[in-house]
Structure 1
């Protein structure tokens, strides 16, 4: 029982912090050790902060794969490997291929496998029903090899690589003296075994004679045809069948679609191609790569049978914080330590949510429960995440379990918690070269409560002077970001790790009122100093929720 393993992404929230990234990497290690038949890949839904980049570099780990949208792509669909055809092949051959492949559309490609056009079953039907012009075979520049193949004929005189490109197609049923009046130069004449009819057609300048019912061709007719540049074909078919099949000899290029072709790339998201597929009468669509190479065909029906991409979420459980298109993914598990938010799942999932200071603490417990050894570099990541989320045990979110886990992990990783914590925060707060936007989204989350929606960013620093500088740079950006996101309020926490306090920047009509209600202090010039407040999760958000609920109850 071989086969390709199903790929499952393990993802933290957008604008990921150190816990999101490190927990995703460690949990992917746990899941792959279980060897359940899936392949687990640590991923990230946003850019890394300087702190997280430092941690990954310090422990020699590569950054996770960037996934900003978990929606299904064309490459996740069943792409039918329908072979491409040359534009020279006959309509009849195209029709037979469709029947053989159970397809209603064939892609037409050039010698370099690039898409030239499409031919559909409707195009072929239309060519039979609507095209009765006797010059059409010539206008289509029909290769003789198509005529030989379609009429099951043998070329007695002439070049099989030649092309029929001048003249009408007509049937010789009249007397030779009448025929001479309507056969023109280069015409194709369908005739029987009558010597006189064959002779008259050649002498009238016909470009080709088709002799039906497998009749013998005399040597004198063959010589005369050769001398006059007239091709001679012999077919076992009767005149009626030849007349019916003759238009089927035409190359598909005469009827193929070449303009306004709808093609897709393997990386296109299926939610963005649905409208294109549904607003056209064509049922099948070519998939090409970025260089135009033909890869296969997809149909509308393939959209229905598409398998959702699978994902495990760590360090969040709210839709507003999740990667784009999370509602289109199959969520297998959620490992978190936050309040239970707005995410819904289609089926029951493994959901582990514990009131600890860091998701990494839960991952450490899972390693212990399963009896797996923790590699030193992963122990370093998990310890860094705990130190980051608990501000080296200063945050009120920190529990005894976090302390015990960090201590055990630090011994495996060979680091000292206090010294490494300072080293990590110093590296992470080096923000001189960062734009206001990069600083703002380094650790940003969006929250929704009823009809109130707001964003909260946070930066931790060991230096009050650095926070002063950041506040000046961020002030204009707070207003810009609030309007861009269409939120009612925007906040930014400038947290001083040493002083264990936060300067809270506020923007929005009701922002000052909310802060007054939550903390009993009113912001001055858009900022309020909150002593002892360092945790967004345990101190700021719960106070805001309580104030919003009080206001709603009035």
Structure 2
């Protein structure tokens, strides 16, 4: 039975507790109500608060994914069998003709040694003017036997053609043959005793007797004594001479330098240019250990199976995991303002004005009459408490509070006690650098051509926030702006329901003063009553920009 393709349920970059918990809970719901394989993922590092929640309820963190673009492994990879470098050109041609393959790999113990194409074989046949080709390519007699349908009369089939040997046709009389037969040569001849004897006396490496002519015992005895092999073939001299060069092993003609190979983890967007420039039909694909697994056809790009994604807790491209424009978005479950994300096909889009995405997920469990187990209840309840700052945020609605209380009952937790422990775990910043704190919950926005980013940290400890502010301000002043014109950071005191906001960027101070109608310091402003980035801060900044 074919395994269904994974559908990734994923939140925004720099995920908060809601982003992680709603992804896990919604993937769990989808697996119960639909025929599919839904897998929660995360697009950033897990915060201390979120890790506390996951550990408390014994749930593993979703695996990290930093790009959802289509990869080679998402495309049909042809399981093209490999050839051996010892195989003759003739057998390789027959194999490729019968399998209708234009290019085939040469593999040894799983490792790619080279590739051979029909063009390479044709070129080898047309360009062979070197009479010593069998010696140069270290061809075994077994290859010659196979190619000319021969029988070994004298000698060992596994021996290699002597290094100095060239291919000759014994059409001349013995007197002339003496002048151009040299040690190690391969002489193609008929049933002429004199020619065979001359070749042995001149130390030829091999005599090929055509038309199945019998070889006398005297010649066989002399050949053995002089280390001269004898092969009998049913073909005439012309056909034998035509075929014998096709016994050359593939290893001599295969392309082994500067091979164009791809990894199964390569992104199609990164390799498309190479495939267009290098006009091969097929390219070898290797796994992470460098082992050959198949061939990627140019035609396969027409049948790409893009990654399938469900977005939770965001709907803006700037906040989405990298490569989202290449993925197939199936659903969006969110509680934020509508962004600028475009989809190639219609999607299921659920957006409600509540304080938390997990509240929406909880409602969907009820609508689908799916029982909520204690672990999922604990995750969703924690997400609601986090996003609404334990119902203190202006984004909190009666629906959020009712959902959290119902979920807390299922999870068997006390809301007040659990929230305080969760917030304290999240506000423990001693082990984090200012950069880690800044990007822990950072989102980008834009309006009227102005791009800005807003980060936020919440804490129960007023002293900790006061000590953190100058460190954050210094980091912001010296950091890369990440394609934004201005950056803001809210240090939110949960107990006092206020925020100290640090800003940086041209005109940032004027914008903040216009947005909040209060004078600002050199790089910060105190905002009493402001605890919500989504409902209290960003809308005012956007309004000021538009004015």
1:131 CA displacement: 2.0
Residue in structure 1 matching 2:469, options 471, 495, 519:
471
Residue in structure 2 matching 1:217, options 189, 212, 215:
215
Does the 8 Å CA contact 1:265/1:290 hold for their aligned counterparts?
A: yes
CA RMSD of aligned residues (A): 1.4
Please name the residue that 2:315 is paired with: 317
Give the TM-score taking structure 2 as reference length.
0.97
Deviations 1:289-342 (A, max 9, x none): 343322222132222322001010000000000000001101010000001101
1:75 CA displacement: 1.8
Please name the residue that 1:99 is paired with: 97
- 1:291 and 1:383 mapped to 2: Cα distance? 43
User: 2:8 is paired with a residue of what secondary structure?
Assistant: strand
Please name the residue that 1:87 is paired with: 85
Residue in structure 1 matching 2:62, options 61, 64, 77:
64
1:128 CA displacement: 1.2
Change (3 A) 1:292 1:442: same
- 2:221 and 2:90 mapped to 1: Cα distance? 32
Does the 8 Å CA contact 2:448/2:545 hold for their aligned counterparts?
A: no
1:254 CA displacement: 1.2
- Tell me how many residue pairs correspond in the alignment: 546
User: 2:431 is paired with a residue of what secondary structure?
Assistant: coil
Please name the residue that 2:514 is paired with: 517
- 1:474 and 1:369 mapped to 2: Cα distance? 44
- 1:289 and 1:68 mapped to 2: Cα distance? 19
Please name the residue that 2:158 is paired with: 161
Residue in structure 2 matching 1:396, options 390, 394, 397:
394
1:431 aligns with 2:429: yes
The 5-angstrom pairing of residues 365-384 of structure 1 reads 365-384=363-382
1:530 aligns with 2:522: no
- 1:522 and 1:127 mapped to 2: Cα distance? 82
1:95 CA displacement: 1.4
Which deviates more from structure 2 when the two are superposed, residues 450-459 or residues 8-17?
Answer: 450-459
Does the 8 Å CA contact 2:473/2:503 hold for their aligned counterparts?
A: no
Which deviates more from structure 2 when the two are superposed, residues 354-363 or residues 219-228?
Answer: 219-228
User: 1:142 is paired with a residue of what secondary structure?
Assistant: coil
- 2:65 and 2:429 mapped to 1: Cα distance? 25
1:270 CA displacement: 2.1
- 2:386 and 2:517 mapped to 1: Cα distance? 29
Please name the residue that 1:148 is paired with: 145
Does the 8 Å CA contact 2:481/2:487 hold for their aligned counterparts?
A: no
- 2:381 and 2:98 mapped to 1: Cα distance? 61
User: 1:92 is paired with a residue of what secondary structure?
Assistant: helix
Please name the residue that 1:410 is paired with: 408
Please name the residue that 1:334 is paired with: 332
Please name the residue that 1:504 is paired with: 501
Does the 8 Å CA contact 2:74/2:304 hold for their aligned counterparts?
A: yes
Please name the residue that 2:20 is paired with: 21
Does the 8 Å CA contact 1:82/1:101 hold for their aligned counterparts?
A: no
- 2:430 and 2:182 mapped to 1: Cα distance? 87
- 2:112 and 2:79 mapped to 1: Cα distance? 14
- 1:522 and 1:169 mapped to 2: Cα distance? 96
1:229 CA displacement: 1.6
- 1:253 and 1:420 mapped to 2: Cα distance? 68
Deviations 1:156-196 (A, max 9, x none): 11111100032110111122222221111111011122233
User: 2:440 is paired with a residue of what secondary structure?
Assistant: coil
- 1:98 and 1:523 mapped to 2: Cα distance? 76
Does the 8 Å CA contact 1:513/1:522 hold for their aligned counterparts?
A: no
1:12 CA displacement: 0.3
Deviations 1:196-238 (A, max 9, x none): 3222222222211111222222222222222222111111122
Please name the residue that 1:269 is paired with: 267
User: 1:163 is paired with a residue of what secondary structure?
Assistant: coil
Please name the residue that 1:493 is paired with: 490
1:484 CA displacement: 4.2
Please name the residue that 2:543 is paired with: 546
Which deviates more from structure 2 when the two are superposed, residues 42-51 or residues 205-214?
Answer: 205-214
Give the TM-score taking structure 1 as reference length.
0.96
The 5-angstrom pairing of residues 244-323 of structure 1 reads 244-323=242-321
Please name the residue that 1:447 is paired with: 445
Alignment gaps of 5+ in structure 2: none
- 1:129 and 1:451 mapped to 2: Cα distance? 63
Please name the residue that 2:131 is paired with: 134
Alignment gaps of 5+ in structure 1: none
Deviations 1:221-258 (A, max 9, x none): 22222222211111112222211112111111111222
Does the 8 Å CA contact 1:11/1:312 hold for their aligned counterparts?
A: yes
Does the 8 Å CA contact 1:183/1:206 hold for their aligned counterparts?
A: yes
User: 1:164 is paired with a residue of what secondary structure?
Assistant: coil
